[in-house]
Structure 1
């Protein structure tokens, strides 16, 4: 059974989310504040699969909780729940380490679709990613880390799947639309710019100079290309 942490300070919304998740067979752990969520995670670090984080909270906000969760566990899935619709807020959430975001108000079917899509990304096979790839970037299956040279790098589920898809193309460029469909699923209702924000975050982890990338090349007006097979 998958376990989901729901961080939401409004009881009516939290109960609404919890009821719908439990109907779908998920185990739910509830938190009312960011501080409480972090305390719960410290006791359930290995058992929580996804965290749903409200942004506007008393005390530490959802962005800070997201950053702290990523420091504790790179492999947990994170979806931000926000009434903020400005692009700067969405980008801030994604750069803080979130895999996705949902604008309030939302309907249960949209929430379930986003959770299912994220779980699919989290279930990507590490062995499949390493298959037929003997270049400078490899994975450490037991630790679920990327190894670039002598450096070990943690990846989120979304970053992991982006990298997998790019590497499978054998140096061919991939369009933003194809990345969106492959990683976030067909008919993704969110902002397509989520691709570029996650790519920026991925580059910050694996590139020596993210502003002049050597591993993930931008194909202007189209998408991205993996060029990591060469030193």
Structure 2
């Protein structure tokens, strides 16, 4: 794995370098936001993972995240933040980050998060490689009265209109819900099914991704992801009238 660690605190980078070496990962370091964007943009496809501090000189982490997402919608990003503000963490997820870790963090915890996110990304890439060899005109994998989803083409449609710009995580989350219409999923269940590991009870990442999916759904049709208060979320298009 080739990882870009964006971190202005060199003591943190030096500490993590020992753990990265143990994993035999190829790691490069950027110490300000501008340097990070320049390093990534030189060869975007070469990077397998980015850890991104939010408090950076020249360009802050949010700006860096936005710039990277303009170049690549799929490279996994874990934001690292010393901020206590919940809004910063949720905003990072809404802007396309895949995970976050709050400082001070255990190096072992960060390594575990990186491995889990990388494993999920590799599975998605493997599926995508298989899709290029398959007949993309096959039947939809998920189909209800008004919704359809094809994992081979990574496309989802509501009322015959494509839901545009779904990130890999958003696609998997929507697929998980739509595969079992009207079944209620708790946030913990969705964390385990979509992210493939425990988030230590932190459910805000699910809420942030649901919010983004809803915004994209509303561009093409009525809302089909419903909140079940005190429990979680469900997919239900039974009341939708086709436009």
TM-score (norm 1): 0.84
- The answer to whether the 8 A contact 2:5-2:27 is kept is yes
1:42 aligns with 2:41: yes
- Give 1:222 deviation, angstroms: 1.3
Which blocks of at least 5 consecutive residues in structure 2 are unaligned?
A: 132-138
SS in 1 for 2:120: helix
- Kindly tell me: are residues 209 and 133 of structure 1, through their superposed partners in 2, closer, same or farther at Cα, counting changes over 3 Å? closer
Distance 1:154 1:47 in 2: 22
Matched with 1:220 is 229
- Give 1:155 deviation, angstroms: 3.0
- The answer to whether the 8 A contact 1:66-1:96 is kept is yes
- Kindly tell me: are residues 157 and 20 of structure 1, through their superposed partners in 2, closer, same or farther at Cα, counting changes over 3 Å? farther
- Give 1:202 deviation, angstroms: 2.0
Matched with 1:85 is 84
Matched with 1:76 is 75
- Give 1:81 deviation, angstroms: 0.6
Distance 2:164 2:25 in 1: 30
Which blocks of at least 5 consecutive residues in structure 1 are unaligned?
A: none
Aligned residues: 225
- The answer to whether the 8 A contact 1:140-1:147 is kept is no
Distance 2:227 2:118 in 1: 27
Larger Rg: 2
Select 1:156's aligned residue among 162, 167, 175: 167
TM-score (norm 2): 0.80
Distance 2:150 2:157 in 1: 6
Structure-to-structure mapping, 1:19-168, within 5 angstroms: 19-122=18-121, 123-124=123-124, 125=127, 132-134=141-143, 136-139=147-150, 141=152, 146=156, 149-151=160-162, 153-168=164-179
- The answer to whether the 8 A contact 2:149-2:175 is kept is no
Task: Please list the CA deviations of residues 135-194 of structure 1 after superposition, one character each: whole Å capped at 9, or x if unmatched.
Answer: 54434746x555664546233332233123212324422111211222334542262222
Matched with 1:172 is 183
- Kindly tell me: are residues 186 and 78 of structure 1, through their superposed partners in 2, closer, same or farther at Cα, counting changes over 3 Å? closer
- Kindly tell me: are residues 176 and 18 of structure 1, through their superposed partners in 2, closer, same or farther at Cα, counting changes over 3 Å? same
